[in-house]
């Protein structure tokens, strides 16, 4: 496997797998360079804190214990047996540059641990994308960058999921993603970065303007990545979950996942058999 110098995760809140019906040239560009699953599954319940928590902490919500309310009101425990990807990297490298730019502040406040020296910014979508791009330009030695974009979920709650209004919000999110990808390319960082673009949940399964159920419209998400070791045109095998993202990140950076994690490295993603 070729060396990965950094991992960039771009989260599209509430986009499910509805991206297939939208015009997303920047996402398409990434998919052409790497791997895609349009049938990945998120955590249950299909709610933001539970799902982003699963991505970052490598376990299901019944273990990491996060809810939207908790993420808004209290920091994630520093001594949890389910450390985040940020904590794993920090413990392996005290000097690593770690950053999170989020349109939904509870990610920075309550999902990522507070004592790790993570550079955290919370702003609206376009501003957060530009701030992340500026950070990339000034910090090419970044180890892990997480960017959260929220407008697909906002549009879904207002207009319904997989509606023309939400698809336009997904297209806006793709434009914001392009700002970040362009910054990586200008800084000559794209080729040795693992870039993951993923949604936390869909919506419209039981209620047109909501999510939270195990209905396939709520539960099914897209998951895409490209970078060193990823064969262009890879279609991910069935069974990929949002939780597995944590294992992908840690493996790509050459680190060991905690035994308590449920996250598993998808088979053949980096040309290897399944690990876990």
Distance CA 41, CA 238 (A): 9
Buried b (16+ CB within 10 A) or exposed e, 143-161: bbbbbbbbbbbbbbbebbb
For 121, phi then psi, to 5°, come to -135, 135
Buried b (16+ CB within 10 A) or exposed e, 33-55: bbbbbbbbbbbbbbbbbbbbbbb
What is the model's pLDDT at position 202? 98
Give the distance from CA 212 to its chain's centroid. Answer: 18
What is the model's pLDDT at position 276? 38
| Predicted confidence (pLDDT) per residue in 158-207, tens digit | 999 999 999 999 999 999 999 999 999 999 999 999 999 999 999 999 99
Rounded average pLDDT over 68-96: 97
Distance CA 158, CA 169 (A): 11
Verdict on whether the full-model pTM lies above 0.85: yes
| Rg of the chain, C-alpha, whole Å | 17
Rounded average pLDDT over 132-141: 98
C-alpha closest to that of 42 among 204, 216, 170, 174:
216
> Domain 6-252 maps to which CATH number in 3.40.720.10, 3.40.50.620, 2.40.30.10, 3.40.50.2300?
3.40.720.10
| Predicted confidence (pLDDT) per residue in 208-234, tens digit | 999 999 999 999 999 999 999 999 999
| Predicted confidence (pLDDT) per residue in 144-156, tens digit | 999 999 999 999 9
Q: Quick check: 110 pLDDT over 90?
A: yes
**CA 27-29-31 angle, 5° bins:** 70
Task: Tell me the three-class secondary structure of 84-114, residue by residue.
Answer: CHHHHHHHHCCCCEEEEEECCHHHHHHHCCC
The domains of the chain are located at 6-252
What is the model's pLDDT at position 1? 54
What is the model's pLDDT at position 136? 98
C-alpha closest to that of 261 among 88, 23, 45:
88
């Amino acid at each position: 496997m070729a060396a990965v110098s950094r991992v960039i995760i771009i989260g599209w809140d509430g986009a499910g797998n509805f991206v297939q019906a939208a015009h997303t040239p920047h996402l398409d560009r990434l998919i052409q360079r790497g791997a895609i699953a349009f049938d990945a599954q998120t955590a249950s319940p299909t709610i933001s804190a539970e799902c982003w928590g699963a991505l970052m902490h490598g376990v299901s919500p019944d273990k990491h214990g996060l809810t939207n309310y908790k993420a808004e009101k209290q920091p994630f425990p520093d001594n949890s047996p389910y450390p985040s990807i940020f904590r794993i990297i920090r413990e392996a490298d005290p000097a690593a540059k770690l950053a999170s730019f989020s349109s939904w502040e509870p990610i920075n406040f309550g999902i990522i641990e507070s004592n790790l020296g993570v550079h955290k910014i919370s702003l609206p979508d376009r501003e957060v994308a530009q701030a992340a791009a500026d950070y990339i330009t000034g910090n090419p030695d970044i180890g892990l960058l997480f960017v959260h974009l929220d407008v697909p979920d906002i549009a879904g709650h207002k207009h319904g999921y997989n509606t023309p209004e939400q698809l336009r919000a997904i297209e806006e999110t793709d434009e914001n993603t392009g700002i970040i990808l362009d910054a990586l390319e200008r800084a000559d960082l794209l080729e040795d970065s693992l870039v993951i673009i993923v949604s936390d949940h869909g919506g419209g399964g039981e209620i047109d303007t909501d999510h939270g159920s195990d209905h396939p419209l709520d539960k099914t998400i897209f998951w895409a990545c490209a970078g060193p070791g990823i064969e262009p045109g890879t279609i991910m095998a069935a069974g990929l979950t949002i939780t597995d993202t944590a294992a992908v990140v840690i493996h790509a950076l050459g680190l060991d996942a905690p035994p308590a994690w449920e996250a598993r490295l998808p088979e053949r993603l980096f040309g290897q058999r399944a690990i876990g």
